[in-house]
Structure 1
Amino acid sequence: MAPARYQHPPQPPPCFTATPKSLIEETKQMIARNKKVQDDIVRDVKPAQATFENTLLKMAREDDYEGLESHIIGFYQAISTDKTLRDASTEAEKLMDQFAIDSMMREDIYQLVDAALQKKENLDPESQRLLEKSYKDYVRNGLKIPAGPQRDRFKEIKKRLSDLSITFQKNLNEENGGIWFIPKQLEGVPEDVTSGLEKGKPGTENEGKIRVTFKYPDLFPTQKYAKDPETRHKMFIANENKLNQNIEIFKEAVLLRDEAARLLGYPNHATFKIEDKMAKTPKTVDDFLSDLRTKLAPGGLKEIEKLKELKKSDFASRGGNYDGRYYLWDHRFYDTLMLEKEYSLDQQRIAEYFPLQNTILGMLHIFEELFGLQFIEIKGDERDALAKNFSISKGSDIVWHEDVVLFSVWDAEDQGSSFVGYLYLDLFPRDGKYGHAANFNLQPGFTIPPLSSSLSFSSSIPSSTLTTLPDGSKRRYPATALVCNFSKPTPKKPSLLKHDEVVTLFHELGHGIHDLVGRTAYSRFHGTNTVRDFVEAPSQMLENWCWTPSQLKALSKHYSYVGASYAEEYAETRKAKGEDASTKAPEEMPDELIDSIVRTKHVNDALFNLRQLHFGIFDMTVHEPASHAEIEQMPISETYNRLRKEISKLDGPEVLGEGFDWGHGEATFGHLVGGYDAGYYGYLSSQVYSADMFYTAFKANPMNGTEGRRYRHTVLERGGSREEMELLKEFLGREPNQDAFLKELGLSS
């Protein structure tokens, strides 16, 4: 049981008791309430009297309140097992998006915000930033387009883009395809994976076969370990074509974005989108990507030659005919084989030391030491007690599925022992669930100043949802969720993570921490609400802890020490291999195994980053056409595959005479429809910042709590409330540079 001081969070956790009907009703009520706030402002305030407080602050506080409901309403489509609830969540999100577009195109509100901006009041920095960004939002939503057909068309485009994005993501979430294989075709795939796959029923055409889905826990092990190249080939091609219903959606979205940007006076969508980011101009992005491509290409070609030699040797050992090609569907397999043969990297043995639940606890302990936090798991009777304390019917109402893990998060004693928020972990795949790994904000944090402040506001936010702090301000604490898809545990084995899955988990937990520790006045700037080309930097920086020997040892615990049944299973496994069943594995990962991990950090790194460059350059290509006609005539799928061949240097079906229209990877690319359009470069550019921060503050001592707390308060807490470049410079004590980034990539000494 948790210590007494952690048993009574000051704020209730979110509830997950919605029905399809209640989701729609709550959404309509929320929209009506928000519209009334806007209508009342227009009724009561004339432009001559408009100020930040009587205009924008009222809307900002309503948006804060709305976020407590809207994020969860939209969340159901990613996690619910009930299709009718997912469908209602999708419909509700459409209603919210349509209303948001209508709101951002209100001429009467824009005139008031414009007038308030012209007042040049003496506001605190975050309020000034809110005012300036809000004004720019109205402009970027078409309110400088003359009223009439052009503005009407712009609004029509915005609404259509919203529908397309929601439908695209829904198709991704609900994708349930797969391929049936006979067991021989899956030779090499770990038994831990194949034992959990669907088996063909007796008397059917699939009797004796095994179904491999396109979900990551099935797809990646098959691509990494299946010895039959045709199996890998089939899985790769089928995965690229699993969502062909999204092909036209993607093309239409790209066309509409370009049209909208031109209506606003921009030469293309990329110029419009990047203007508000750290990069500022497409040229900055194009130069960065082009320079990196030039630097990485020679290394990529060298890596391919080494991998070809490995493939040639592998084919010879099995009596196969090697055609001299290195295919896209070869890479995960031979990359894994190289790590095993040349670097003694035994992924299966490594995974034995990363049972999921223990690894999570180890990660949270690292965050506790670094950032001054405490994570308290809430389970069983404690959930019931927490629910009862806030008049919630039962403990199961505060989670959305029985697999979900819940923590209350607190400041450590040296940080004041205050409540921080709630952290949810939803880690295993299921039908209809979001298929990748991501962090979702469930409820944002924000702070309302004391009544004595000139910027206080008696809002419609119920007082029961707020906590009064010692200075008289009122605080709303965040709730955040990690949604992942790791292999489920079995009665004999816990869920065991490969090292790359440990990195993924650490990365997404990094987003979760950013979300939890945010301390901003307005939810608009809370946590990960930063510009897209910075938002990945904090999580990318934390990935370094997964490559640090001392932290790998601290995270590790052999699964046979987790429970008696697992110890018995481990002994049985050793016995089946003809080994001494009484010999125990070391409890912590041995140093030689850790060394084998660390030595592989940059193996085939050029090819990995060339793959990222392919995504980034394709993104810029479709969003930076010279004319609208160019994008109309562009064969999107062929462009995607041609660029992949040119940039990644790996062969696809085109070298077999199938042309470049063999697959439709863009139709599976949720990022480019879900917010990273003309922004995917941020995954690479933010590595510049993440490497700089790590080398500057943590390279010498990754567990330096003083630096960790300074990082928390300087960068993470402030979210998007200040210019991200200013936060970086304050933390680094200088302008950021590429030195550490290039060193990590082996492109400088």
Structure 2
Amino acid sequence: MAPAHLRSPPQAPPVFTATAQSIVADAERLIRTARAVQDKVVAENDNQLALESHIIGFYQAVSTDQKLRDASSKAEEIMDEFFIESVMRDDVFSLVDAVLKKNETLDPESRRLLEKEHKDYVRNGLGLPAGPQRARFKEIKKRLSQLSIEFQKTLNEENGGIWFTPEQLDGVPEDVLSSLKKGEGENAGKLWLTFKYPDLIPTMKYATNPDTRRHVMVANENKCNQNVPLFRETIILRDEAARLLGYPNHAAFRIEDKMAKTPETVDKFLGDLRTRLADGGRREVQKLLALKKETEPNADGRYYLWDHRFYDRLMLEREYSLDQQVIAEYFPLQTTIEGMLKIFEELFGLEFVEIVDEDRAAVAPTGNGKDIVWHEDVQVFSVWNDEGEGSGFVGYLYLDLFPRDGKYGHAANFNLQPGFIDADGKRRFPATALVCNFTKPTPKKPSLLKHDEVTTLFHELGHGIHDLVSRTTYSRFHGTSTVRDFVEAPSQMLENWCWTPSQLRSLSRHYSTLSPEYLAGWQEAQQARSGGKTATGPPSERIPDDVIENLIRTKHVNDALFNLRQLHFGIFDMTIHEPKSHADIEALPISATYNRLRQEITEMHGMEALGGGDEWGHGEATFGHLMGGYDAGYYGYLSSQVYSTDMFYTIFKNDPMNKAAGRRYRYQVLEKGGSQDEMQTLTEFLGREPSTDAFYKDLGLA
């Protein structure tokens, strides 16, 4: 039970009571209201729209009801069409243009809003003469919205997999195998392996049969091939739209408003990094290939894409005594979350209060506690400032952590309701959700996180904290609503806490210490692992120092290959979005380009080396980032890493839990959201312009 003063938030949480019928009606109601406002006073209504529109679109990522997911997708399409219509209204643009030309004195955030709104109208076709060109541009925008929604729906609905015999899955951890669906009839004796992360990643890391790994990899690359034509049409339409507006290509159009400003800056950054990483990548492949030859003496001498997770893991075990299965025992999901929230509490001056049982009914506007979550697995927290920060309410945090049919398949943070100042001058508080896919708990074992999953959770929680503590006047600039080549930096910076010994120790707690049932389960697993011998004694409650030391030694093992993989995504993104001519993009073989670039950049082979041709896989058909806002922006993961490493080395490396530094980071970086130029935010926090020195030093490339 929460303390009395933390049981009554000043704002009720949102409710999740939509039906397939109501959700489209709600979208149409919002649009009617907004259109009436626009018609009457020729003004925007962004803040109020955002309170409901984000949730209406959210159902398609999390609902278990197929009809509700379909309705959510339809509602999002309706809303997108309205937004396109809104930013192409001449009457609204005329007013915005007139206000801008008046050049009246405004506060900095209002001035930024006015300038960005004005530019949005121009970038959405109102710089084009009325007539066929503008009509074509509007037609393209509507079609692009439909393509994006359909593409993401295919990803969310994907439920494929492969039947394997237990022998084919030799080496895969028993807790994974025991969770797989058992076959019947013609598949009796087989196990159904899905492409969801809790099945896919352990199989690629542990399956000893290379044919199994190859089969899984190729099938995973082809699991959403109905998206292939959607992706192609999207790339071609984006290029046409950019050229209609007078840009040489879509990349020039998209990057103009980012920190990089021009595609040339991005290409130079990616090219320089590729040059610096190339030798290291080759050395890493040769070392891994030597390990493969030792393990598979009859192999053909090539290092394949489906080899990498397996031999990367094997190298860590053999050369660094690093057993990720043992490490995971120290990171049960719920205690790890508690530890992370404590870090954020201490660093940023926050309090997280889980809303459970009767407290849910007490805060629910409907009086029904079930209405404030969308699924029974979801946890919800009210978030407050601690006493030192004034004890005020901050917002709501939701955690939706386990896979299920129809759910978004990766890990992401979704803003449900932004924060802003309403028309009466009162603050509206944000609500934000982490949607992840970790292994479900069993009676004998809780959900356990590998170290990379700990880092993923911390990263996404970082986005959630950014969303929660932001305090902007306008919803447009709230939280993570920054330029794409900065948005990852705050969360990437926080990942460093997952490589800090004191924080790893504080986050850890061996799962066998959580309950007698878990202790019995651990002892049983130990007996099975040791051939029937009884466990000599319980493990230490906290992760041992020597294990932490070994883990930290591995931070940059095979790091060149990891970053070359990111470079492949970034360079592919730029390649398809900056063709020399429209005819070039129409003729470009997109899947072949994706596969060829991956082989050239990472120097790992795919099926093309076995006679499968360049079109053997269609990875672009599962590349949701490029359809969901990271187009001509995937480089932002790498450029944000430059900023995040600079911030950590400069401010936090010597004392990661420095409260004064944490508060300054909260108020100078996170609170600002996108309300001021991101370079100004960085420069003010660092006390100087950002530098690449720490980034290259951290990678060992200085």
Aligned amino acid, residue 707 of structure 1 = A
Of the three residues 485, 500, 504, the one matched with 2:452 is 500
SS at match of 1:185: coil
Contact 1:353 1:588 in 2 (8 A): yes
Which residue pairs with 1:293 in the alignment? 274
Measured after TM superposition, the shift of residue 582 of structure 1 is 5.8
Please tell me whether residue 611 in structure 1 is matched to residue 565 in structure 2: yes
Question: How many pairs are equivalent?
Answer: 700
Which residue pairs with 1:8 in the alignment? 8
Contact 1:420 1:517 in 2 (8 A): yes
Please tell me whether residue 530 in structure 1 is matched to residue 482 in structure 2: yes
Of the three residues 634, 643, 652, the one matched with 1:689 is 643
User: Hey, what's the Cα distance between the residues in 1 that align with 2:41 and 2:237?
Assistant: 33
Aligned amino acid, residue 252 of structure 1 = E
Alignment of 1:471-510 (within 5 A): 473-510=425-462
Please tell me whether residue 83 in structure 1 is matched to residue 66 in structure 2: yes
SS at match of 2:186: coil
Of the three residues 327, 345, 350, the one matched with 1:368 is 345
Which residue pairs with 1:119 in the alignment? 102
Measured after TM superposition, the shift of residue 562 of structure 1 is 1.2
Aligned amino acid, residue 115 of structure 1 = A
SS at match of 1:441: strand
SS at match of 2:168: helix
Which residue pairs with 1:700 in the alignment? 654
User: Hey, what's the Cα distance between the residues in 2 that align with 1:245 and 1:373?
Assistant: 45
Structure 1 pair 697–518 and aligned structure 2 pair: CA distance change class (3 A): same
Which residue pairs with 1:26 in the alignment? 26
User: Hey, what's the Cα distance between the residues in 1 that align with 2:612 and 2:55?
Assistant: 45
Residues 244-292 of structure 1, C-alpha deviations (whole Å, 9 max, x = no match): 0000000000000000000000000000000000000000000000000
Aligned amino acid, residue 744 of structure 1 = D
User: Hey, what's the Cα distance between the residues in 2 that align with 1:596 and 1:623?
Assistant: 42
Of the three residues 122, 132, 142, the one matched with 2:125 is 142
Contact 1:445 1:523 in 2 (8 A): yes
More displaced stretch, 374-383 vs 79-88: 374-383
Structure 1 pair 579–413 and aligned structure 2 pair: CA distance change class (3 A): farther
Alignment of 1:56-455 (within 5 A): 59=44, 62-201=45-184, 204-316=185-297, 321-387=298-364, 390=365, 392-448=366-422
Which residue pairs with 2:676 in the alignment? 722
User: Hey, what's the Cα distance between the residues in 1 that align with 2:523 and 2:603?
Assistant: 45
User: Hey, what's the Cα distance between the residues in 2 that align with 1:415 and 1:649?
Assistant: 51
User: Hey, what's the Cα distance between the residues in 2 that align with 1:441 and 1:95?
Assistant: 20
Measured after TM superposition, the shift of residue 659 of structure 1 is 1.7
Q: What is the RMSD of the two structures over their aligned residues, measured on CA atoms?
A: 0.8
Residues 693-739 of structure 1, C-alpha deviations (whole Å, 9 max, x = no match): 00011000111111000000000001000000000000000000001
Aligned amino acid, residue 733 of structure 1 = G
User: Hey, what's the Cα distance between the residues in 2 that align with 1:415 and 1:557?
Assistant: 30
Measured after TM superposition, the shift of residue 385 of structure 1 is 2.2
Gaps in structure 1 of 5+ consecutive residues? 43-54, 449-456, 459-472
Residues 351-371 of structure 1, C-alpha deviations (whole Å, 9 max, x = no match): 000000000000000000111
Measured after TM superposition, the shift of residue 322 of structure 1 is 1.8
Aligned amino acid, residue 420 of structure 1 = V
More displaced stretch, 567-576 vs 398-407: 567-576
SS at match of 2:296: helix
Gaps in structure 2 of 5+ consecutive residues? none
Which residue pairs with 1:542 in the alignment? 494
Which residue pairs with 2:466 in the alignment? 514
SS at match of 1:362: helix
Aligned amino acid, residue 464 of structure 2 = G
Which residue pairs with 1:48 in the alignment? none
Residues 509-537 of structure 1, C-alpha deviations (whole Å, 9 max, x = no match): 00000000010000000000000000000
User: Hey, what's the Cα distance between the residues in 2 that align with 1:120 and 1:698?
Assistant: 41
Measured after TM superposition, the shift of residue 205 of structure 1 is 1.1
Residues 415-453 of structure 1, C-alpha deviations (whole Å, 9 max, x = no match): 1000000000000000000000000000010024xxxxx
Which residue pairs with 1:673 in the alignment? 627
Of the three residues 582, 601, 614, the one matched with 1:647 is 601
Contact 1:536 1:686 in 2 (8 A): yes
User: Hey, what's the Cα distance between the residues in 2 that align with 1:432 and 1:416?
Assistant: 41
Residues 660-700 of structure 1, C-alpha deviations (whole Å, 9 max, x = no match): 11000000000000000000000000000000000011000
Which residue pairs with 2:36 in the alignment? 36
Which residue pairs with 1:735 in the alignment? 689
Structure 1 stretches (4+) deviating beyond 4 angstroms? none
How high is the TM-score relative to the length of structure 1?
Answer: 0.93
Contact 1:571 1:582 in 2 (8 A): no
User: Hey, what's the Cα distance between the residues in 2 that align with 1:175 and 1:596?
Assistant: 38
